[in-house]
Amino acid sequence: MALSALGSARRLPFPTLLVGILGAIVLSSSVTLDLLLLPHDGSLAHDFSAFYAAGLVVRAGGNPYDAGQLAAVEAHLPAVGDPAQVVGFNSYANPPLFAWFMSAMTRLPQAPAYLIWTVVMLAALIAAIVLLGDRRRSALWWLVLVLSPASVICLFLGQQTPLLLLALVGALRAVRRQAPLLAGALLSMAWIKPHLLLPVIVLMVALLAAGDRRRLLAGLGGASLLFAAVSLLLTGPGLTGAWLQTLVAYGRSLDQNQPDLSSLAGLYLSIVGRPWSLLLEGASILVWLSWMVWLVRQAPRSGLGGHDGRLSRAIAVGLAGWLLLLPYVHPHDLVLLAITLPVLLEPGAPGLADATTRVAACMSLIAPEADLLGFRPNFVLSYSVLVPLSLLVALRPWRLDTSGGNLSSQQSWAGQGLTAAPPSAAPSSDAA
């Protein structure tokens, strides 16, 4: 599927070989630097420490969304990388059920708990990459993805984004295998960070065939209601209300100064403030929504089947565009863009023979590593903005066509880039 498109080195053109050699040098150098510098960095497990502190607050019967309560706990937590330092305040905005789960981990000291958490997130990352790839191919490319800077940042900070990646990849695989109910249940994991995936889920639902759409929504709604009921039972309605208020507060602050943004918001926040930043934020999201509506309107009335190659490409383009335009995106969130690999590197695609794909590959290896090592243009902007930007260019959204009958992945690469082949290229087999 995705990784098989790299093919045999004997058939690769010189630019592709050069990118491969430079990529290997950059990756090995970055891994060496990470191993030397990061284990003793005061920011090691910074986000995990916030989750851990939220778990301690919940375990004591408190409210982790109350800045005073959370700060009081974090003020006494030593940094995992440098115990001479304290963690410092880091707010908590994930669901209360996640904080309850973290309260179970507080039975362990912070450092061992972080180690276990890292192993779990690494397993989730590897599982997602295995689902993206082809088991018949070498594990080398899986290793490259695991060691890529965005993945390292996730593990370094103790982020839970690998869980979201695994859920998204599993959902796409389930839809492809005609199990939309399971796909919907997996996508309920998006509530961990709803701003990242919920709009893309809406796009997926809108493009699916009617029968698949209903079953996916049933799975998503059922699993979400189950999680909500369990959350209310374990943490009470008070924390759920506090979480919803926190989400609203985050929504109001999306256009304000935030560190290390990996979206275009970092560019305009570097130059302008309110009210222009608020207007630019709204305009950016409106652009994405307009594109989504156009894409859905040109799709067949019967929708796209899960096996249709254009569905996976539309989701990949939608996610890359959303992360580029969404005001609240950070380098560790870019691990979600691993789903673009099956599109860019699938059989029949130009792959690394395409210059824009080579640029995107280089940006994915270099830009987040610069952020990880502390090289940034300024406080609010990170070089990682080049990752979704270059991937979006490589995906060529202006050539994406969802009209006509269903096509397999390889057939849908006929013609130029992402332009679909004529409807007669394959019979329609939409689910009822």
Confidence of residue 41 (pLDDT cuts 50, 70, 90): low
Confidence of residue 307 (pLDDT cuts 50, 70, 90): confident
**pLDDT, position 380:** 79
| Range 218-223 average pLDDT | 97
**pLDDT, position 285:** 87
**pLDDT, position 139:** 54
CA angle at residue 262 from 393 to 290, to 5 degrees?
A: 55
Give the span between the Cα atoms of 374 and 351, in whole angstroms: 31
Domain boundaries, the chain: 3-40+117-425, 45-107
Give the span between the Cα atoms of 45 and 140, in whole angstroms: 27
**pLDDT, position 25:** 66
**pLDDT, position 113:** 95
pLDDT tops 70 at residue 21:
no
Phi, psi (rounded to 5 degrees) for 85: -100, 160
Closest CA to 399 of 421, 422, 416: 416
Rg, Å, the chain Cα set: 22
Distant-in-sequence, close-in-space partners of 353: CB < 8 Å, separation ≥ 6: 12, 13, 15, 16
**pLDDT, position 138:** 45
CB neighbour class for 118 (10 Å; exposed up to 12, middle 13-18, buried from 19)? middle
**pLDDT, position 256:** 63
Least confident span in 12-16, 128-132, 179-183, 349-353: 12-16
pLDDT tops 80 at residue 282:
yes
Strand partners, 78: 86
Give the span between the Cα atoms of 284 and 282, in whole angstroms: 5
CB neighbour class for 240 (10 Å; exposed up to 12, middle 13-18, buried from 19)? middle
Q: For a pLDDT cut of 70, what percent of the chain falls above it?
A: 77
| Range 343-369 average pLDDT | 82
List b or e across 54-83, with b for residues whose CB sees 16 or more CB atoms inside 10 angstroms.
bbbbbbeebbbbeeebbeebbeebebbbee
Identify which has the larger pLDDT, 1 or 300: 300
Confidence of residue 88 (pLDDT cuts 50, 70, 90): confident
pLDDT tops 90 at residue 299:
no
Give one DSSP letter per residue of 31-74, joined into a string: HHHHHHHGGG-TTTTHHHHHHHHHHHHHHTT--TTSHHHHHHHH
pLDDT tops 80 at residue 169:
yes
Confidence of residue 32 (pLDDT cuts 50, 70, 90): low
Which range among 37-46, 173-182, 301-310, 380-389 has the greatest average pLDDT? 173-182
Element (H, E) at 210: helix 210-235
Identify which has the larger pLDDT, 17 or 307: 307
**Token representation of residue 362:** 């280089």
> 């502190």: which residue's tokens?
53
323-332 pLDDT, tens digit per residue, is 999 888 889 9
Say what angle helices 161-176 and 194-207 make with each other, to 10 degrees: 10
pLDDT tops 60 at residue 407:
no
Q: Provide the 10 A C-beta neighbour count for residue 257.
A: 12
DSSP helix/strand/coil, 86: strand
DSSP helix/strand/coil, 333: helix
**pLDDT, position 412:** 39
pLDDT tops 90 at residue 89:
no
**pLDDT, position 414:** 32
Give the span between the Cα atoms of 160 and 120, in whole angstroms: 10
**Token representation of residue 162:** 């690998």
Distant-in-sequence, close-in-space partners of 187: CB < 8 Å, separation ≥ 6: 167, 168, 171, 197, 201, 216, 219, 220
Distant-in-sequence, close-in-space partners of 237: CB < 8 Å, separation ≥ 6: none
| Range 275-288 average pLDDT | 83
pLDDT tops 60 at residue 419:
no
Give the dihedral of Cα atoms 174, 262, 102, 120; nearest 10 deg: 50
Confidence of residue 350 (pLDDT cuts 50, 70, 90): confident
pTM greater than 0.75: yes
**pLDDT, position 64:** 95
Confidence of residue 427 (pLDDT cuts 50, 70, 90): very low
Confidence of residue 14 (pLDDT cuts 50, 70, 90): low
**pLDDT, position 132:** 82
Give the span between the Cα atoms of 431 and 201, in whole angstroms: 19
**Identity at 46, one-letter amino acid code:** H
Give the span between the Cα atoms of 300 and 30, in whole angstroms: 46
**Token representation of residue 209:** 């065939």
Q: What is the mean pLDDT of the chain?
A: 80
pLDDT tops 90 at residue 265:
no
| Range 140-163 average pLDDT | 82
Contact in structure between 34 and 152 (CB atoms under 8 Å) = yes
Least confident span in 82-86, 99-103, 203-207, 218-222: 82-86
**pLDDT, position 424:** 35
Confidence of residue 417 (pLDDT cuts 50, 70, 90): very low
DSSP helix/strand/coil, 208: strand
Confidence of residue 3 (pLDDT cuts 50, 70, 90): very low
DSSP helix/strand/coil, 240: helix
